[in-house]
Structure 1
């Protein structure tokens, strides 16, 4: 019986994909990778429809991928297509839409194991959906307000010990010639003004945490959690602001948290979730978010947590 063939839909230099590639090789699987950014300048496709669906080949700089042999797909933030400079802007838009819906429709039609299916990933990016699903699955969440009403926002901030602002989706903002991150930010209610009415804003009570935890769970039953500590006050609020101050250790996962993680994945049809928690001094785990495509490779590098092996198990159908 032929070894399973796993397709990585990922950027060529992606760290998470590299770890999964190595883990799959250890599991005896065959691995191929398609970097969508290489199309059409360095990659191509010739696909046909038969009674069982789409078949044919993808051609890449590393060789040919027979689509009908693929048994699983690891979907890891594919990058935009890159078209010849000779195309006009209307031609470029047309080419991009055709490639996006052509490849997207073919890939999503494959009757294979996904980690995770792009349609489910798209749904799971909605932070309010994450929060509502997490609440239903038994997680503890901060009290939250989503509003564009300045008076409601002021009242919310004034009547709580501490409140923070978080972006619901876009965590990058362009300013002139630079791009900056939007971090979790404490809110002074006296600074809230009428400009808040221009769009929705997410406010939450600020959890007085001891440390953060990033937990990777798979639909096949794995959970691996890493505690993230820092003495930096800005990093303590949002660890992304102070990576050079962080320390890490593998931490056990409470049974109730593990159960809630797997219930969450099941509810949203995900095969993989990267969960962020704030842990308080009393040992309570507070759900912050679940990034279905968030990074974890640096945690495996720092701690040795076997996250990529868990993902490889899921792609090859091995139970934990």
Structure 2
């Protein structure tokens, strides 16, 4: 593959990645797309070398060699950027010991090399994304960055939960937005109000996140690419706590991000080593922005369309330039 390529790691059906790839193609930036969890060890083939005995090693050091996808090959030492979007997990659900061993070797071999490429910009690094997905770490980082965070309790103690809920209007939200089914059908677990009288011994079965309910008049999703911030005000019908449960009833408009919030978002991402984040805020009648959470690999394509935000261009710029202060 001629030129310094951009690697795109994502699942087969990813319309969001398609937008970025189309823009990079328009700019004639070489792109190699694959899904590590499904495509390795075939059709993806890895041959990576490092160490004093490697005569092909580049002057800059680090991993050298090639990554081949079908008939296309990328020089590992020349990768300008890696876009870690939504790759499938390396399969480990097989009951066969050999298959489980191979899956872990693939994850640590291919995944390890892809995470240690010399001179490569990551949007974002898989390990940085994984660290930032922990809500307790997010809330701590947001507080340290200067963002306003609602009172929050994480507990497995029903008594603590009941006391917290009796002190103020409270919502419950999951700590991880994992797959969940109800009667065999996919279902979302949205943030929802909870009262002290609803708390029972079931709280002791796992960690629970309870948070003071912000008296919001709207929400904001702020998408940060590098140091650029794209924000949209989201208005839901009255009484809706979690706007994600009412997509068809929402209205959107672009909104300017206050300077103090912008600076805090950049500091938040820098602390985790991220080049991207999709932040959610609750906005009160006095215009205050209350931090709720950050998805370090969140969706944004629908927001670009409905609010007229040029996020695709910003991501393509970052990947094409292959350099960032957060590297």
TM-score, normalised to structure 1, is 0.90
Deviations 1:17-47 (A, max 9, x none): 1122133334442222122244247512131
Deviations 1:258-288 (A, max 9, x none): 0110010111111111111111111111101
The residue number in structure 1 matching 2:284 is 280
The residue number in structure 1 matching 2:248 is 244
SS at match of 1:293: coil
1:167 and 1:211 mapped to 2: Cα distance? 21
Please state how far the C-alpha of 1:213 moved relative to its aligned partner.
Answer: 1.0
1:116 to 119, 124, 138: 124
The residue number in structure 2 matching 1:256 is 260
The residue number in structure 2 matching 1:97 is 104
The residue number in structure 2 matching 1:180 is 187
| Contact preservation (8 Å) 1:39, 1:81 | no
The residue number in structure 1 matching 2:149 is 141
Please state how far the C-alpha of 1:151 moved relative to its aligned partner.
Answer: 1.2
Deviations 1:99-142 (A, max 9, x none): 11111111011021111111111110110000000001010111
The residue number in structure 1 matching 2:8 is 8
The residue number in structure 2 matching 1:126 is 134
Give 1 or 2: higher strand fraction: 1
Unaligned runs of 5+ in 2: none
Please state how far the C-alpha of 1:183 moved relative to its aligned partner.
Answer: 0.6
TM-score, normalised to structure 2, is 0.88
1:218 lines up with 2:222 in the alignment: no
Unaligned runs of 5+ in 1: none
SS at match of 1:276: strand
The residue number in structure 1 matching 2:47 is 47
2:131 and 2:64 mapped to 1: Cα distance? 27
1:3 and 1:91 mapped to 2: Cα distance? 39
| Contact preservation (8 Å) 1:39, 1:82 | no
2:75 to 66, 81, 84: 66
Distance 1:318 1:249, change over 3 A: farther
The residue number in structure 2 matching 1:168 is 175
Over the residues paired in the alignment, what is the CA RMSD in angstroms? 2.3
Please state how far the C-alpha of 1:167 moved relative to its aligned partner.
Answer: 0.8
| Contact preservation (8 Å) 2:48, 2:66 | no
Distance 1:165 1:108, change over 3 A: same
1:268 to 268, 272, 275: 272
1:76 lines up with 2:85 in the alignment: yes
SS at match of 2:80: strand
Distance 1:229 1:61, change over 3 A: farther
1:189 to 170, 186, 196: 196
| Contact preservation (8 Å) 1:157, 1:188 | yes
Distance 1:24 1:253, change over 3 A: same
| Contact preservation (8 Å) 2:304, 2:310 | yes
